[in-house]
Structure 1
Amino acid sequence: MLLLLGDCDSGKSTIFNQMRLLDTELTAEEKLMQYMQHKKASGIFETYFRVGEYVFYLFNGRGGWRSIRRVFCDQSAYILVVDSSSYDMVCQGDNQTNQLQEALNNIENLWRRMRTMDRPVFLFLNKQDLLAEKVLAGKSKIEDYFPEFTHYTLHEHTTPAQGEDPSVTRAKYFIRDKFLKITDSGDVDMHKCFPFFTCAIDLENIQRTFRDCGDKLNFCSS
């Protein structure tokens, strides 16, 4: 069982809804029955789906990061969804806090609570398409919001996606490394964080990502 968490505009609901399109082994009638979403008293929605050999039982925490307080200890793994393109946006709640920084803060707080948990965490760095558009447009620069980006250099063994502009590669890995700096810190190695670059509206990307998640789950349980 996996718990899907993220802010309301991170794209997690789109990822959640894409699941009904991935299972090719069920009839249309079975899909209709299988993917009925049942709202629990806790505000959690659930669905079942299959990707290749893997069957996922997924909870969508509609309460955002607060959902984990109710079902924190009951899951096999966690999926944390972040809007990677939000580096120049502010949170709707106060119209002041940087939205990407808020996601970093949420991850840091969450990670502290997971110190005794032996659970894998899948970090979906979502909306890669929008991030690429912003970077290539050049109107909103990451260094204006995160000055450390000015001196950021890619790791020696970084492999860019085929045909990807180098400026996009640098931007997305900078954001990834901001999160990994949090999850790799400390002396806790009971759980691992596996980052993925995702685009919720790209069904092939989501299908490939969940296959990789299945492989990681098998690896962590072996």
Structure 2
Amino acid sequence: MRNISVILFLNKQDLLTEKVLAGKSKIEVYFPHYATYQAPADTLAEYRHENSEVIRARFFFRDEFLKVTSNNNGGRHYCYPHLTCAVDTENIRRVFNDCRDIIQRMHLRQYELL
């Protein structure tokens, strides 16, 4: 993931929500730094209708992948994360938009415009 652009679907968000709300998620056991993690402020505003602990868990996993993909790549490669569930019909549109962005960035870099 450090050398290519990636479209990342963090699927089964419905199951994560159930586990967090039921107190069955043990994220901090496997990721001790989760205890001090704070979801980005803009996401809390955007998802204000949802439980803040659920949002915190979702964006923790997203941010873990973003850390891996953004370290030392010099802006050449991107991660396009999407929080989804299997019945999300918007997935095709997201893939199309992300592929278009990847191709545009590749061509802009090729001609040294980016």
Cα distance in 2 for partners of 1:126, 1:205 equals: 13
Residues 198 and 209, structure 1, Cα contact 8 Å, conserved in 2: no
Cα distance in 2 for partners of 1:169, 1:189 equals: 27
TM-score norm. by structure 1 comes to 0.42
Aligned: 1:168 with 2:37: no
Offset of residue 136 of structure 1: 0.9
The structure 1 segments of at least 4 consecutive aligned residues displaced by more than 6 Å after TM superposition are: none
Alpha carbons of structure 1 residues 215 and 151: separation in structure 2 relative to 1, 3 Å: same
Matched with 2:70 is 184
Residues 154 and 173, structure 1, Cα contact 8 Å, conserved in 2: yes
Residues 5 and 102, structure 2, Cα contact 8 Å, conserved in 1: yes
Alpha carbons of structure 1 residues 141 and 178: separation in structure 2 relative to 1, 3 Å: same
Alpha carbons of structure 1 residues 208 and 169: separation in structure 2 relative to 1, 3 Å: farther
Residues 7 and 95, structure 2, Cα contact 8 Å, conserved in 1: no
SS at match of 2:65: helix
Matched with 2:36 is 151
Matched with 1:120 is 5
Equivalent position amino acid for 1:169 in 2: I
Q: How many residues matched?
A: 106
Matched with 2:86 is 200
Alpha carbons of structure 1 residues 210 and 187: separation in structure 2 relative to 1, 3 Å: closer
Matched with 1:217 is 102
Equivalent position amino acid for 1:188 in 2: G
Percent identity between matched residues is 42
TM-score norm. by structure 2 comes to 0.75
Match of 1:136 among 1, 4, 21: 21
Residues 125 and 198, structure 1, Cα contact 8 Å, conserved in 2: yes
Question: Rg larger in 1 or in 2?
Answer: 1
Offset of residue 180 of structure 1: 0.9
Give 5+ residue unaligned stretches, structure 1.
1-109
Offset of residue 174 of structure 1: 0.6
Residues 160 and 169, structure 1, Cα contact 8 Å, conserved in 2: no
Q: RMSD over aligned Cα, in angstroms?
A: 2.3
Cα distance in 2 for partners of 1:219, 1:147 equals: 39
Cα distance in 1 for partners of 2:25, 2:73 equals: 37
SS at match of 1:195: strand
